[in-house]
Amino acid sequence: AQSVAQPEDQVNVAEGNPLTVKCTYSVSGNPYLFWYVQYPNRGLQFLLKYITGDNLVKGSYGFEAEFNKSQTSFHLKKPSALVSDSALYFCAVREMSNQGGKLIFGQGTELSVKP
Amino acid sequence: DGGITQSPKYLFRKEGQNVTLSCEQNLNHDAMYWYRQDPGQGLRLIYYSQIVNDFQKGDIAEGYSVSREKKESFPLTVTSAQKNPTAFYLCASSFPQGTGGSYNQPQHFGDGTRLSIL
């Protein structure tokens, strides 16, 4: 069965510094990986996805993610953090089964960017 | 603008009462999903529908029911059998996944309904 783990409940970064939000996955076959962001009392917004191809995926709002097959990781990165990046971030993997291609989510990582 | 509309934003349920959460999309998506979000637990799938007049149970369907009479609409009913309904409920939609579709399509989410018990 597919699964995804986000090992950090919270990440604290100073504005202007690079940020990394970690994600590891377990899949059988090729992984379909996604990152979403959630602001308070809002739905999830799609940031980026990895399907195949380049290991560095670029997404919305200056975010990118690095796919590493040997380490089964898909870490979210941004070179220079903004206070407005503070939010809850979810990594997800596509369930390759009859369950409608459902997404399996990590438990989320709270990112806090301080001025 | 296309999107997903969930209503109401806040909902309160009395003991023994069924409540219905609305989800409407104008993205022309065939697939729709309901998730439950609890603090520290990520999102868990309640029900999903790949096409009109068809829906399937997800991981935590007990105490919930859905219908899919129109492509645009996928309402969720939280029944009195759901003993712990307090949560944030999120509706999502996408193009079809899996056979006949593509696994690389992201899901688009509404802004959620927060359900509490009175």
Mean pLDDT of B80-88: 91
Per mean pLDDT, which range of A2-16, A30-44, A84-98 is the poorest? Answer: A84-98
| More confident position, A29 or B111 | B111
Q: What percent of chain A has pLDDT over 90?
A: 77
Residues in A whose CB is inside 8 Å of some CB of B read: 9, 32, 34, 36, 41-46, 49, 51, 90, 94, 96, 98-103, 105-108
Whether A31 has a pLDDT exceeding 90, the answer reads no
Q: What are the pLDDT digits (tens) for B20-65?
A: 999 999 999 989 999 999 987 889 999 999 899 999 999 999 999 9
Q: What are the pLDDT digits (tens) for B85-104?
A: 999 999 999 887 665 556 67
Amino acid at residue number B73: S
| More confident position, B97 or A17 | A17
Please report which residue ranges of A48-115 form alpha helices under DSSP H.
Answer: none
Report helix, strand or coil for A61: helix
List the one residue out of A22, A115, A4, A36 whose CA is nearest residue A77: A22
A–B: how many Cβ contacts below 8 A? 72
Please report which residue ranges of chain A form alpha helices under DSSP H.
Answer: none
Number of other residues whose CB lies within 10 A of the CB of residue A97: 12
Contact A94 B107 (CB under 8 A): no
Distance from CA of A97 to the nearest CA of B (A): 8
Task: Classify burial at B15, counting beta carbons within 10 Å of its beta carbon; exposed 0-12, middle 13-18, buried 19 or more.
Answer: exposed
Residues of A in contact with B54 (CB under 8 A): none
Q: What is d(CA B15, CA B26) in angstroms, rounded to the nearest whole number?
A: 34
